[in-house]
């Protein structure tokens, strides 16, 4: 009986922990808005205005939720908006919130994200699916890395051994080809089917194996697995002989093959092609001649929002429901603007030499944790801001992720050196070498050590391979 009481007590403790960890609707809304790049946010704001009759564009942008066109100043939430946000904390979970609040702004229905989905990249769609699988923190890190390594067709063009080396060199992630293989098998369960394949053969096989209702499924699997070379060269008569099937069944296999997608990521890429060709930056960073740096959060065509003055004094419950929902949305936009700006300001602070000179070798090692320490935000918040966001600088437009780089080694002064700095020095040495007697990896290591880099020959060989520089005998 004592053991049973202990089990009941343990179950009760577990249930309590789950309730505490659940995000509330205001937090969920803020997370979703923070993840959106400026273009997607514009669509989301417009959708909210269409669905909420009491939410209006401010005739004076300075009176709206973001305090002006630049987005550098922030108006504090109104007293009513604060009360609306705080009221949500009376509910234990999102499921307990009334339907009028837990509506399009907080639910997962298709209508809400119709506009947002059109602007989601393949990377964003895959990252969203990670929550459907039980992954450790390290596996999540590897999954993010694999997703970022996919080409525009959603395929993996490099071997896992090379990716493992690159993960160590560029991201500071210690892993192996075997470990990446395990995580890749999970990625290949994501949608669209065929994603993460390392070859056309694997891509088609994944699609067939996942569709249990496809006609002739067993024959297709056998053909793609054993007779792929015949398939590639359209030797259909030979395939029929090997599979011991007639002409009608061969024609059926041909029809089913045509239904498969050799470019599983292509359909998603097509939806975001315009955005890829014309990037709309989320931030503007201007550097004056005297080195002064100014950070601006861009708004695009997004209007400032206010609650309609006509809502004042309304007693109707239906009206108040929409007003509370609108106030909560405005508050979330304010919080997003502050989070975005503070994060970008922290990045500029940590990478100030680059923003003043435009020299990428001036980039210092910087991790998500470093920015989190400066801003006081959680690492997951920094990751959401950095994902799919771009910054336009005096020297060009860059994805925010570009500014995150790990320490490759140290120089003789004990300062951290990034991979880009080391690779720039390595490239310079190779360009200046006598092509009749090019430097060996050992000699390159010695020369870099003389310049103050603490580096091993094995590491130099890895960098050289990643940069596409042939071995010494091939550079003559």
The enclosing H or E element of 421 equals helix 419-432
pLDDT digits (tens, 9 = 90+) for 184-229: 999 999 988 899 999 888 999 999 888 877 888 899 999 999 988 8
Q: Which of 120-124, 299-303, 323-327, 393-397 is the least confident region?
A: 120-124
**Which residue in 415, 430, 435, 437 sits closest to 463, CA to CA?**
430
Residue, of 325 and 152, whose pLDDT is higher: 325
Q: Return d(Cα 361, Cα 350) in angstroms, integer.
A: 14
Q: Which of 62-71, 96-105, 195-204, 209-218 is the least confident region?
A: 96-105
The pair of structure tokens assigned to 173 is: 């992630």
Residue indicated by tokens 């429901």: 321
DSSP-derived secondary structure for 183-206: HHHHHTTSSSTTTT-SSHHHHHHH
User: 216 preceded by cis ω (within 30°)?
Assistant: no
Rg of the Cα atoms in the chain: 27
pLDDT tier, 391 (very low <50, low <70, confident <90, very high otherwise) = very high
The pair of structure tokens assigned to 54 is: 């009491």
The enclosing H or E element of 393 equals strand 390-393
pLDDT at 268 exceeding the cut of 80: no
Q: What is the pLDDT of residue 409?
A: 61
Q: Which of 63-77, 214-228, 408-422 is the least confident region?
A: 63-77
pLDDT at 252 exceeding the cut of 90: no
pLDDT at 270 exceeding the cut of 80: no
Question: What residues are paired with 287 via a beta bridge?
Answer: 293
pLDDT at 408 exceeding the cut of 70: no
pLDDT at 96 exceeding the cut of 80: no
- As a whole number of Å, the end-to-end CA separation of the chain is 82
Domain 407-474: top CATH class:
mainly alpha
Q: Return d(Cα 39, Cα 279) in angstroms, integer.
A: 9
pLDDT at 274 exceeding the cut of 80: no
pLDDT at 357 exceeding the cut of 50: yes
Are residues 347 and 373 in contact, defined by beta-carbon separation less than 8 angstroms? no
pLDDT at 428 exceeding the cut of 60: yes
Are residues 261 and 192 in contact, defined by beta-carbon separation less than 8 angstroms? yes
pLDDT tier, 182 (very low <50, low <70, confident <90, very high otherwise) = very high
pLDDT tier, 3 (very low <50, low <70, confident <90, very high otherwise) = low
Q: Return d(Cα 98, Cα 307) in angstroms, integer.
A: 21
Q: What is the pLDDT of residue 407?
A: 59
């Amino acid at each position: 009986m004592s053991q049973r009481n202990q089990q009941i007590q343990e179950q009760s403790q577990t249930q309590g922990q789950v309730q505490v960890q659940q995000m509330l609707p205001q937090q969920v809304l803020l997370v979703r808005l923070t993840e959106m790049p400026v273009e997607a946010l514009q669509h989301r704001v417009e959708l909210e205005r269409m669905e909420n009759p009491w939410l209006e564009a401010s005739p004076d942008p300075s009176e709206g939720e973001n305090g002006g066109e630049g987005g550098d100043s922030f108006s504090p939430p109104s007293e009513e908006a604060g009360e609306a946000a705080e009221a949500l904390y009376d509910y234990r979970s999102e499921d307990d919130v009334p339907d009028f609040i837990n509506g399009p702004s907080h639910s997962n229905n298709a209508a809400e994200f119709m506009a947002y989905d059109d602007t989601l990249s393949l990377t964003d769609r895959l990252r969203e699916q990670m929550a459907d699988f039980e992954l450790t923190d390290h596996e999540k890190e590897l999954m993010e890395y694999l997703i970022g390594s996919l080409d525009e067709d959603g395929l993996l063009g490099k071997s896992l051994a090379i990716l493992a080396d690159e993960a160590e060199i560029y991201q500071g992630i210690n892993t192996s080809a075997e470990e990446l293989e395990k995580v890749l098998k999970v990625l290949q369960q994501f949608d669209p089917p065929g994603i993460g394949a390392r070859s056309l053969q694997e891509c088609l096989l994944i699609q067939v194996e996942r569709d249990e209702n496809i006609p002739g499924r067993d024959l297709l699997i056998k053909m793609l697995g054993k007779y792929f070379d015949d398939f590639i060269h359209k030797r259909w008569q030979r395939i029929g002989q090997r599979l011991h099937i007639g002409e009608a069944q061969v024609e059926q296999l041909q029809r089913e093959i045509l239904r498969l997608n050799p470019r599983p990521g292509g359909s998603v890429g097509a939806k975001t092609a315009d955005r890829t060709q014309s990037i709309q930056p989320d931030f503007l960073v201007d550097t004056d001649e005297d080195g002064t740096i100014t950070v601006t959060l861009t708004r695009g065509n997004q209007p400032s929002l206010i609650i309609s003055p006509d809502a004042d004094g309304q007693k109707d419950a239906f009206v108040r429901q929409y007003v509370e929902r609108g106030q909560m949305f405005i508050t979330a936009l304010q919080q997003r603007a502050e989070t975005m700006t503070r994060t970008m300001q922290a990045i500029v602070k940590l990478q100030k030499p680059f923003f003043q000179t435009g020299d990428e070798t001036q980039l210092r090692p910087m991790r998500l944790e470093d920015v989190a320490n400066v801003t006081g935000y959680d690492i997951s918040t920094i990751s959401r801001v950095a994902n799919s966001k771009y910054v336009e600088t005096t020297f060009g437009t860059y994805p925010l992720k570009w500014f995150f780089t790990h320490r490759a080694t140290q120089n003789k002064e004990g300062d951290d050196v990034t991979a880009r700095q080391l690779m720039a020095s390595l490239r310079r040495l190779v360009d200046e070498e006598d092509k009749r007697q090019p430097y060996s990896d050992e000699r390159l290591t010695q020369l870099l050590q003389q310049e103050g880099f603490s580096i091993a020959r094995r590491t130099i060989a890895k960098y050289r391979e990643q940069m596409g520089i042939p071995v010494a005998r091939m550079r003559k």
